[in-house]
Amino acid sequence: MSSAVRAGAAATPVKPGRARLRIPTRTPHQAAAEAGSGRLGGRLAGVPWALPAVLFVGVLLVYPFFRSVYGSFFDDNGFTSHYVGLDNYTRLIDDPIFGRSLLNTVLWVAGTLLLPVLVGLAIAVATHRMRRGRIAQLVVVLPYAISGAATAVLWKFILTSDGTLNQVLRAVGLDSLARPWLLEWPASTISMIVASTWQATGLNVVLFAIGLRAIPRDTVEAAELDGATGWRMFRHITLPQLRSMSVVVVGMAVVNSLKAFDMVWILTQGGPARSSETLALTMYREAFLLFHVGYGSAIALVLSVIVVACSWLYLRRQMPGTSPR
């Protein structure tokens, strides 16, 4: 912090006159650079300001990331380690648990991308300009404030074999549908995705509602004059106008689908027989419970590659101005 103060104090005031003549169409970056770098603390003036963030992220996130990549080439049981090359990765291919775990992760990502986003959009559109629609929105948002662990504890209650869901199914005569939800795959994974939809949808409703309110009335009225109603209105007016908000919603859904850990850890601990594990959980079990640290790192790297590839493809298209090129 003190270095930041010094950098600020060292900047001598810019002489008025030069900047006044310019048409203000540049970023402060360019302005500062042009105004004479010496007087503004040089072209590196930003470095001390960015340094704390870079240190935290660099030391505690980026360095461990690369350390993890390196560690995935070793057979490490927490006490001894020796180089095994790509063995950890070839082991993944034959490991049936890894295959199931990968499948579960894909289900989670697809499920948490599709369900909360589509349901959220439907609720936001339905409650938009509806009497008491705000109250309905608030009810759906409520679970967002409940933490993942608390949500999982609550849903365990609903989904266990003698839980409330099965009680309801038996009460209405649908005994055949009652099942031990958490003890059979794929019912376990699907019901956990539903539980997480219950929690995650609210935020999307709020975000889409903001987006809907921002649509200019004129646009809607013009479309109405042209005879657009219902689905056509939604498809050609509402949806395109919600684009910038959808970017945020989908971006957050990607982050949320990684949170799959809490829910799975508390509801099934990945069981029975590791059938409902996601990659996040398989990695945790291998590295911290079975002490296969190198193997765990390899799993984490596979997960990272999937996530980074998705985020990269997505962000590169959606965030102009930050592309490294």
182 to 241, contacts with another protein by CB under 8 A? 198, 206-207, 210-211, 214, 230
Which of these ranges, 107-115, 122-130, 178-186, 215-223, lies near another protein under the rule CB under 8 A? Answer: 122-130
Closer residue to another protein in complex, CB, 8/186:
8
CB of 44 to another protein, least distance (A): 7
CB of 237 to another protein, least distance (A): 16
Residues 52-81 interacting with another protein (rule: CB under 8 A): 52-54, 56-65, 67-68, 71
Which of these ranges, 84-92, 108-116, 132-140, 216-224, lies near another protein under the rule CB under 8 A? Answer: 132-140
Using CA atoms, how far apart are residues 302 and 296, in angstroms rounded to an integer? 10
* Number of residues this chain uses to bind another protein (CB under 8 A): 116
Which of these ranges, 110-118, 173-181, 219-227, 282-290, lies near another protein under the rule CB under 8 A? Answer: 282-290
Residue 259: name the closest of 185, 188, 199 by CA.
199
Residue 247: name the closest of 108, 117, 123, 115 by CA.
117
Largest CA distance in the chain: 83
- The residue from 97, 103, 146, 223 that contacts another protein (CB under 8 A) is 146
Decide if 204 contacts 121 (C-beta within 8 A). Answer: yes
Cα distances (angstroms) measured from residue 280 to each of 6, 137, 181, 201, 284: 44, 32, 21, 22, 6
Closer residue to another protein in complex, CB, 103/248:
248
Decide if 234 contacts 82 (C-beta within 8 A). Answer: no
CB of 106 to another protein, least distance (A): 14
Q: Is 21 a binder of another protein (CB under 8 A)?
A: no
Decide if 182 contacts 188 (C-beta within 8 A). Answer: yes
Q: How many CA atoms lie within 13 A of 141 on its CB side?
A: 15
Q: Is 261 a binder of another protein (CB under 8 A)?
A: yes
